[in-house]
Amino acid sequence: MTFQHETGRYFLNDDTGKLIAEVTFQPIDDGQNYVIDHTYVDPILRGQGIAGKLVKAVVDQARVEGKKIEPLCSFALHEFETKPEYAEMRRQVPTE
Domain CATH code at residue 30: 3.40.630.30
First to last CA, the chain: 43
φ and ψ at residue 17, rounded to 5 degrees: 95, 0
As for how many domains the chain has, the answer is 1
Is 52 among the domain residues?
Answer: yes
Is 71 among the domain residues?
Answer: yes
Length of the chain: 96
What integer pLDDT is reported at residue 95 of this predicted model?
A: 66
Is 15 among the domain residues?
Answer: yes
Residue ranges in the chain modelled with pLDDT below 50: none
What integer pLDDT is reported at residue 94 of this predicted model?
A: 66
What integer pLDDT is reported at residue 93 of this predicted model?
A: 75
